[in-house]
Amino acid sequence: MTARILDGNAIRNQIYAELEPQIAELGRAGIRPGLAAVLVGHNPASEVYVKSKIAACEKLGLRSWLFTPAESVSTAEMLQLIADLNRRDDVDGILVQLPLPRQVDARRVLEAVDPSKDVDGFHPINLGRLVRGGAGLVACTPLGVMEILRRSGIATEGVPAVVLGRSDIVGKPMALLLMHANATVTICHSKTRDLQQIARRSDLIIAAMGRTAMVTPEWIRTGATVIDVGINRITDPAEASQIFAKFPQRLEQFKQKGSALVGDVHPDAAEIAGAITPVPGGVGPLTIAMLMSNTIKAARLRRAQAAGATAASPASGR
């Protein structure tokens, strides 16, 4: 048995095609959605992620700005920058790339972002709306996973699902979205007992623990859907030889580059799963696609709220 590969790049392209007429409609109303990205210091991985997000804005014709405070930036300076971006009417979405330096209070910075511009879906108000199942901006990666499932025809209603990981960015919102889609959800983490057995009882596995190739075929029920959220870079030849033992082409690519990206799911899992996302090319493209979608949604909602506030205000001169 070989799993069906859930191609994130193809699904991303579908979403972009659907966003283009929305962008054009906003343009006819004189609105060009804009995303401000804040990247602190020179973390190579973060730089790659942010560049890909800016490139996506350019591809779709959205405005984008990149702010690059120094590694030594203080919490107060970051809060001032966020306050400035909150006030700018041409900025619809604010993205603060994590991780931030140790001296910066990341929670204070993220909570300072105007919830209506919180395109990452990290603000407590947006998280609260998600808990209640209300309208709001939702974390991009879990939202992207739901798009993969929906567009691939993978059922969630009544399905036993396990989320491996309980982070605020992926695990918790992922579990909430699956519950709203009527899945029966178990959340697991590093302290969970019998983790492998819990996963094996599930028809849907979302792996988001940040542990390289942790989910092996023994974890997976035959025919289950496996969504791999992990992105881990390996550089150890011995580790690469073990992980890619059945994939000589990938092993050769590793030898040429000296590194490779591997998810939280072992590549051999494709022998057991019914459907699986690759790494790279699975969930990653959807994270960026949903960031674009959230930016457009924020632009539309902000203008609608402003129009509603204007309509509700007393007429001047009375």
Residues annotated as part of the active site: 53, 97, 120
* DSSP SS3 for 86: helix
Alpha helices in 187-244, H assignment, sequence order: 195-200, 237-243
Contact 282, 152 (CB under 8 A): no
Contact 116, 129 (CB under 8 A): no
* Site of tokens 């129009």: 307
* DSSP SS3 for 64: strand
Cα 44 to Cα 168: distance, rounded to the nearest angstrom? 23
Cα 90 to Cα 55: distance, rounded to the nearest angstrom? 19
Q: Which of 158, 151, 124, 120 is nearest to 137 (CA)?
A: 120
Cα 251 to its chain centre, rounded Å, is 28
Cis before 142? omega within 30: no
Would you call 12 exposed, middle or buried from its count of C-beta atoms within 10 A (0-12, 13-18, 19+)? buried
Cα 165 to Cα 162: distance, rounded to the nearest angstrom? 9
